[in-house]
Each structure stands twice: as C-alpha cells, then as structure tokens.
Amino acid sequence: MSAPELSIVIPCFNEIENVAAITAAVTREAERHAASHEIILIDNGSTDGTRDAIRALCAADPRVRGILNNRNYGQMRSPTHGIYQARGAAVIGMCADFQDPPAMIGELVALWRGGAAIVLGQRRSERTGLLLGLVRRAGYALLGRIADYPVIPNVTGFGLFDRKVVDTLRRWKEPEPFFRGMLVESGYPIALVPFDRPERAGGETKNGFASLLGFALSGLAGSAKTLLRAPILLAVSAGSLALLLAVVGVVALIAGGPAGAWLGWAAGTAMFATLLLFLGLIGDQLRLIAERTRNVPLVIEEARLNFPDAP
C-alpha cells in the first residue's frame, strides 16, 4: 500500500463526545486539500467508550487507523508515538477537542507545499486566569533566557511536519519527548500561523494546573514529572516563601520597623530555593540518561487497526 500524501494524528483520552465529529471534520478537510490521506486516532487508555468509537470509525473507513495503548502513557509520549507511526509525506498533529481548528488544514498544507518543513499554529491569546497567565509569561521568559534554542510562545504542538522532520526526530529516541521543543531544536525552518483558539467542543479539558506544570517542567528539564522533581517543587515553595518574606521586609522598612531580619531570611530562603532548583534539574537529567540506556518504548500498543502491517 503506497504512503499517503498527508497523515493527521489525533491523540485521544476520554473523547467520546468529540472523536467521531473531529474525524468527520478532518476527513472533509483532508479530502479537499490532499491527494490522499490517513487519519490516526491513538487512544491513551480511555475509559468512556472512546476505544469502541475508534473501532467503529476504523471499520467504516479504511483511511482511519487506530492505535489502542495498553494504558495511559501521558500527554507527551502517546501523541509523539502516533506521529512516528504516520506514513504521510507530511504529518499533522492536532487535538481531538476542536481547539486546533480542522479548517486550518488547508493553510498548513499550502505552506508546506510552498517549502516550509515545519508549520506551527500559534494561538494569539490564552484563556487563563490572572495567576496562571502570570506564571505562563514568567515561564516563557525564563526559558527564553536559559534555553539552548528559541522558545516560541503560545505554540502547543498543533501543526504540520515534513517527513524528513519526523524521521529526524524519531532517530533521537527521546524517552520523554517534549515534541514542540524538539521541533525547534531540530533547526528546520518554522512557519507560524496565528489563530484564535476556539472553545472546546465537548467534554472536559485534560490540562489542569498539574499537567500544565508538568509541561513547563518538561520544557525546562527535558523529561516528565517524577520523584526526582521533588527538589524543583520544593524550590517553588521556597521561592514563594522568600518572596513573601521580602515583601514583609519592605513593608517593615517603610514603616520604620526592624526590616533587616526579614530581608536576611528572604535572601537565605532564596538561595536555598535556587540550590534546590539546580539539584532537581540535575536529578532530572540523570534520570533521562538512565531512561535512554534502557531503550524503553514510548508506549506499548494493545492493538492497532487498519494499518498495512496490522494483523
């Protein structure tokens, strides 16, 4: 079976309200803009009927392929594994909840045909609370200063990747692939397409504060959250305490009270937080080295449907 021109990879976890609708919408766009296509639905251990829906979609259309993981492997490993299984000359990765608009597929394909190796959707804004927005901006600022390669704000991984890009990243064999960072690190030219994020079509978002924090730490340390990240979490707590002590010290100074002790405690706590941060990052890097030597697969598949090599 010849490889299609376009592959669209859609990771799913408890997306029973969206999986059929997103597949239909993507099929319409792919038929308009690609000579041939395949859609890969990779399920990450859903418990709400999503897996049965994927089986039905695969039975109805041979261009729809399914991968059913034997458990939940997290929001980095499973989508990346799906991208690596795609056979298209170009591969699009997008979410199942319509926050990555299927209507943009034509624009992504047009830029790719124009010579762009990577085309990424860039959200113009994020609908977040004040605190989360401040944390997000601070995280981007920190990464922008210390990262080995440029950090692109408001890019989630939605976009199109040329076959040569996918093949390059697959050879890296990253055990915890921070895919959006790997795209930039690869050095291939990137075209950005700004867009306004639509509302989620249905169901509940899987990106709570804990998962967003995990993504941020992945971008900082290159791996997922583990017990070795405990020093980093302690560093965040110690840093918050240092900030509070500094504020109390400044207030005491303005009021003419004894500010020296407060500011001294703030400085000491800040130094402790910095030490914990670096210890946590070193621990994460050591774990990453250990994972690389184990050669652990990104996921273990329970079943794959409609693939040419599937039993």
Phi, psi (5° rounding) for residue 101? -70, 125
Task: Return d(Cα 61, Cα 222) in angstroms, integer.
Answer: 38
User: pTM of this prediction?
Assistant: 0.73
Closest CA to 123 of 148, 157, 165, 146: 157
User: What is the reported pLDDT for 137?
Assistant: 65
Task: Return d(Cα 118, Cα 10) in angstroms, integer.
Answer: 18
Burial classification of residue 213, based on how many CB atoms lie within 10 Å of its CB (0-12 exposed, 13-18 middle, 19 or more buried): middle
User: What is the reported pLDDT for 224?
Assistant: 38
- Asked if residues 70 and 36 have their Cβ atoms less than 8 Å apart, the reply is no
User: What is the reported pLDDT for 223?
Assistant: 38
User: What is the reported pLDDT for 226?
Assistant: 47
Q: 102: which DSSP letter? A: G
User: What is the reported pLDDT for 255?
Assistant: 78
User: What is the reported pLDDT for 262?
Assistant: 74
User: What is the reported pLDDT for 164?
Assistant: 98
Q: How many residues does the chain have?
A: 311
User: What is the reported pLDDT for 122?
Assistant: 95
User: What is the reported pLDDT for 21?
Assistant: 97
User: What is the reported pLDDT for 221?
Assistant: 52
Compute mean pLDDT per 10 residues along the chain, 311 residues long, and list them: 93 97 98 98 97 98 98 93 98 96 97 97 75 62 64 88 97 87 92 86 58 56 50 78 83 76 80 79 72 79 89 52
The domain made up of 6-207+298-305 is a member of CATH 3.40.50.1110? no
User: What is the reported pLDDT for 259?
Assistant: 75
Helices (DSSP H) in the chain: which residue ranges? Answer: 19-33, 50-60, 74-85, 105-113, 130-146, 163-172, 179-185, 209-221, 230-255, 260-294
